[in-house]
Structure 1
């Protein structure tokens, strides 16, 4: 498939963009090229799409289900009891709803951890997105559950090969307080053997740190390091309660930190110290977390909140400038997962969006990236392309009405 975008703004210039297959082939004068699909880029700008670095997509079915609660009460008394009864079909429809919301706000990739792997994978395939999907691992120090989790992960690794290369399989040990030492060691060894990424939660709350000290006499990063988990293939969500030496340890090991400012604030988990972590050398990407703790999946909003929170927290208006925040929501996660996306250049994957420059939030248009970080919302996103295929045009996703109607059924189902 080929797509020609004519007369679009790129780096303050009016140009054409030619997509051949799933790659941006040409940025420049393309009047001699013919394409199967031609898009008028007038009064629009082409930008890379967002990459959501930490997510539980199917939890879209829990949006506003349990709000204004402390994290462990939220998990133990509301989230986990409800999840005990969900089916793969529930996950599929919840993940479709999440994919729809992400596409409509310009996101084409997300890093996920959740139950019923195939439910989310089916949704990603159908919606045309990219994702790194983790087989969630929670054994609560129960040997039988651990063995079942291990067998399931082995099976899912083989079964994941049925999907397109837009889906990456990874391991998802939830956290050190829900996964046994033996299971964490197994995850580290299995991931190393098969070249897999590992997605976990780390130092999310002060209680997690205190409990780790009581149980093991050391803090969470050192505990995971002793088990062999800290390495370039580990993406660690939240990382709120890190001290300086722990930041340096994560940087030395090549661990990637996933910053979720809205979820951290809503659950009062704490404040991730972006400026200090970056200075220590940690790679950082921004994610929304799931809709149960955010409660939306708009990366435009998440990037803005990350930038403003860092300025407020440090007392420095120059902290986390727009360009750095933008990179953390676009290119950073792409690099973490080996994707040539999150950037507009020839030879890159054709994952891009067109934003409407006539939208009042982007006028007068002094600095587009600053406008996208501090001013824009999802209504500014007109067209979304992923892997060379149009997922949304004129802010409409084919089939969105049916997805929304199906999503409404969750309310009555869970009430029953």
Structure 2
């Protein structure tokens, strides 16, 4: 038998027969999938597939789980060059670190940062990521080029702030013209999907919030914004408008099924009802809550109320398995322990929230997130011949609690093998890393970043002194 990687590389038509396949109701044996021209064109039992496609030699992978790729419903592709600068910092880091850093990046640095982020995402099993919009000035093409070159499916937000919060804040008519062009540019793109974004409600006028949200709805794409993430943001909105951020979005008619709210950690019962009644979706970012947040989004309560949500990294760490673990762990620590809930989602909720539910909130529910006929062939091959999965009694729970990115051998998007055992198959990732190591220090040093704490080693030295 040919080497498995060779059998999977650069094939337009493949009949795949894994040991197990993750479908909507759980993992099953005896199933296979036909991949043609970037899509699943037939998903059935191995016997039925062999009968329907006798001309094809099946690629048998008995030790692998074939599962949908993870979808990061909220990230920042142009923050990877400074990702560890925020460790140990107080919560509202976007004003002191991210806006200054992103605003200072030139086109090449935006490209490098985005490509590094996309590489990290693919290594972590994310076949799709939703970028909330770069705050750099005029370099969006560099971001989309980098993501496309890696093969990662991406939803790219265009920042439409008209009151600040970005390096470039043009007049309102220019913002609208740019938004229209952005929506039109990627209509036929197989991997890039457009989106409109406003960083936080406080950096846009009421008219801009309403108009941009409605533009996204009419175009059939998502509108993104960060809401109710930190105490200071809630207070700032109360002072400016007399309403909390989520309440204000409802007041200006900017909520709806096309809206993806990042965080929603500080939500009142009335605001949960707003999310439910408007169909607005939430990106639940558990690692961000641990690293820099003020609260945990009540994801279990959202699930019980029928509020749509998916998992997101917020640019923290790109490992889909560890993200699911964090999602369940925070619900258990924040809510389950006090109520005696020993299940906290039963494992399956977090697997769904990282795949098909995340696809839904990202505006791609009919495109990706499932292994099903007609869907894009965005999937992972997870090696089950590992100690963590031996013996296996409940694979769904095992994926949530024992899974890790080093167990992922194959990462596919649009039917093409992109990574094998953590490294790209058709471009030089090590050359990218070398260039980033050579150039990042100067780029970060030039940005007007303000940190509250020094690095860990310097902090330790000062503490001991």
Question: TM-score normalised to the size of structure 2?
Answer: 0.82
Give the equivalent residue in structure 1 for 2:75. 55
CA contact (8 A) 1:131 1:166 kept: yes
Unaligned runs of 5+ in 2: 1-11, 22-26, 447-465
Instruction: Give the C-alpha shift of residue 33 in structure 1.
Output: 4.0
**1:20 aligned residue:** 36
| Structure 2 partner of 1:164 | 189
* Residue equivalent to 1:403: 432
- Please tell me whether Structure 1 or Structure 2 has the larger radius of gyration of its CA atoms: 2
Q: Distance in 1 between matches of 2:71 and 2:276?
A: 21
Q: Please report how far the alpha carbon of residue 305 of structure 1 lies from its aligned counterpart in structure 2 after TM superposition.
A: 0.5
Question: How far did residue 279 of structure 1 move?
Answer: 2.1
TM-score of the aligned structures, taking structure 1 as reference length: 0.91
The reply to whether residue 195 of structure 1 matches residue 216 of structure 2 is: no
2-side partners of 1:194 and 1:18: how far apart?
Answer: 32
CA contact (8 A) 1:311 1:320 kept: no
Judged with a 3 Å threshold, the aligned counterparts in structure 2 of structure 1 residues 365 and 65 are, in CA distance, closer, same or farther, namely same
Shift of 1:204: 0.7
Cα RMSD between the aligned structures? 2.2
C-alpha change, 1:350 and 1:189, in structure 2 (3 Å) is: closer
Tell me how far apart the structure 2 counterparts of residues 380 and 111 of structure 1 sit (CA, whole Å).
24
What is residue 392 of structure 1 aligned with on the other side? 419
Q: Distance in 1 between matches of 2:207 and 2:225?
A: 16
Q: Given the superposition, is the C-alpha separation of residues 125 and 144 from structure 1 closer, same or farther in structure 2, using an over 3 Å criterion?
A: closer
Change (3 A) 1:141 1:406: closer
Question: Where do 1:315-354 residues align within 5 Å?
Answer: 315=337, 316-336=341-361, 337=363, 338-354=365-381
Q: CA deviation at 1:41?
A: 0.8
Alignment counterpart, residue 442 of structure 2, candidates 398, 404, 413: 413
Task: For residue 318 of structure 2, give the secondary structure of its aligned residue in structure 1.
Answer: coil
User: Does the CA contact (< 8 Å) of 1:202 and 1:238 recur in 2?
Assistant: yes
Q: Choose from 315, 319, 327 the match for 1:298.
A: 319
The structure-2 alpha-carbon separation of the partners of 1:407 and 1:184, relative to structure 1 and needing over 3 Å to count, comes to: same
1:95 counterpart SS class: helix
Asked if the contact 1:248–1:281 (Cα under 8 Å) also holds between the matched residues in 2, the reply is no
The answer as to whether partners of 1:117 and 1:134 remain within 8 angstroms in 2 is no
- The structure-2 alpha-carbon separation of the partners of 1:186 and 1:340, relative to structure 1 and needing over 3 Å to count, comes to closer
Q: CA 1:21–1:269 in structure 2 vs 1: closer, same or farther (change >3 Å)?
A: same
Shift of 1:381: 0.6
How much does 1:40 deviate? 4.0
Contact 2:69 2:378 in 1 (8 A): yes
1:173 corresponds to which of 194, 198, 220: 198
Contact 1:4–1:34 (Cα < 8 Å) also in 2: no
Which whole-Å CA distance do the structure 1 matches of 2:164 and 2:65 have between them? 52
Question: What SS does the aligned partner of 2:20 have?
Answer: strand
Residues 225-234 or 343-352, more deviating = 343-352
My pick for the range that moved more, 244-253 or 386-395, is 386-395
In 1: Cα distance, 2:66 partner to 2:170 partner: 51
Residue equivalent to 1:77:
96
Q: In the TM superposition, what is the alpha-carbon distance from 1:159 to its structure 2 partner?
A: 3.4
- In 1, distance between residues paired with 2:399 and 2:194? 31
Structure 2 CA distance for partners of 1:349 and 1:78, relative to 1, 3 Å: closer
* Number of equivalent positions: 409
